[in-house]
Amino acid sequence: MHIHQDALAVVRAAAPDQPAILNRPHAAARAARFFVEKFPGRSLYAVKANPSPDLLRVLWEAGVTHYDVASIAEVRLVRSTLPQATLCFMHPVKAPSAIVEAYRDHGVRVFSLDSVEELEKIRLATTEANGGVLPEDLTLCVRLRVSSEYSELSLASKFGCDLTTAGELLQATRQVADSLGVCFHVGSQSMSPHAYVQALEKVRAAIVDASVTVDIIDVGGGFPSIYPGMEPPPLEDYFGVIDRTYESLPVSYSAELWCEPGRALCAEYNSIIVRVDKRREDELFINDGAYGALFDAAHVGWRFPVRLLRDGASAETEPFSFYGPTCDDMDHMDGPFELPVDIKPGDYIEIGMLGAYGAAMKTAFNGFGANEVYEVLDEPMASQYRGDRRDPRVSDNVVSLR
């Protein structure tokens, strides 16, 4: 892999004909160390956010030992990449064959569920994988449905049991599990720490109703990154309220606290360089789009930071929208993306903070999808982890009396 100082150096050296992915391993390693050192429990990387083997190795070397996998393909990938990693199969609906293979061939002992039917599936599949005997080493996490009202992307509809059925399911799971957990997901890009307080209060109610000993509380993902128009509070605020609320829960004295960051660990790892192939007033035709790394920009209106990679550009900017390279009208990203008014065909743009879901959502539709890959040494366009970020809750007009 070619290593360059920054995105502009890549353009000067290579003038890439294909979209160019820029990897920043130092940024991902810094994010991982932040969670390992500051989250008051164990951090499981949510592999679905970015399954790059190179990234998995970076996170492992920075201290992340547990991985949230959501399919048998992810189980195989992480096990082959990181033979010593602990894998947690946290998809609440799994094929029996996937459970058998995960338990028997890959050493998976942690599974999530949100129904009695899934519990029975896990019981039968792991018994089959264990030579006809019910295993005594299962960690089973019951997923509760919680609100996504504080998050930019909801995860409240598909998975999770309601409080009305949680007590019975926890009691039944306790009979099968060596270790019993309760997990939830507040939604992606949660913009308020209160989301976790609200969810943990549901956990409290479920435990009290079930009257069972709980060994693991898993607060899931949702930890935010920084994007235009989305300035979340510092992650330390999230960790603080989670820790205080967790400490008051009626759980085992030896219980563990887990989380499953995805976006927060990988968003700063990647950016992409795209070329402007046509300008039509305030619309730019670029060579990546809705079927490539910019899926979220097209389909959920996500705004990513952008910058023009050219010396001498106008200081005056205006909002642009993008069209991707395919023949589909849906290959459109409304933005707005603020760029210099004199941008023109042949210019290159860096689009930042694409490490989360950008690489994971790519397709080869219409024959597009090829990328060049470079490693760069500069900083991502935004960071939760450098220690120099202004607290977005503090007004510039407020005078501190400390």
Contact 371, 20 (CB under 8 A): yes
Q: Is 402 part of any domain? A: no
CA distance 304 to 346: 21
Q: How deeply is 364 buried, as exposed, middle or buried, from its count of CB atoms within 10 A (0-12, 13-18, 19+)?
A: exposed
Does one domain contain both 239 and 303? Answer: no
Does one domain contain both 153 and 255? Answer: yes
Q: Using one digit for the tens of pLDDT, what is the confidence trace for 97-147?
A: 999 999 999 999 999 999 999 999 999 999 999 999 999 999 999 999 999
Q: H or E stretch including 334?
A: strand 332-340
What is the residue type of 232?
Answer: P
pLDDT at 394 over 90: no
Q: Is 388 part of any domain? A: no
CA distance 265 to 356: 8
Does one domain contain both 162 and 130? Answer: yes
What six digits make up the tokens of 377? 């040494």
Q: Where in the sequence is the domain holding 308, given as residue range(s)?
A: 2-22+270-376
Q: Using one digit for the tens of pLDDT, what is the confidence trace for 259-269?
A: 999 999 999 99
Q: Using one digit for the tens of pLDDT, what is the confidence trace for 167-213?
A: 999 999 999 999 999 999 999 999 999 999 999 999 999 999 999 99
Q: Is 164 part of any domain? A: yes
Q: Is 7 part of any domain? A: yes
Residue 298: give its domain's CATH number.
2.40.37.10
Q: How many domains does the chain have?
A: 2
Task: Give the start-end residues of each E strand in 194-251.
Answer: 216-218
Q: Which of 228, 243, 266 is the last residue of a domain?
A: 266
Q: Is 88 part of any domain? A: yes
Q: Which of 266, 286, 306 is the last residue of a domain?
A: 266
> Among residues 202, 112, 197, which one has the least CA distance to residue 158?
112
pLDDT at 389: 67
Does one domain contain both 235 and 93? Answer: yes
Q: Is 237 part of any domain? A: yes
Q: Is 392 part of any domain? A: no
What six digits make up the tokens of 173? 């799971």
Does one domain contain both 259 and 118? Answer: yes
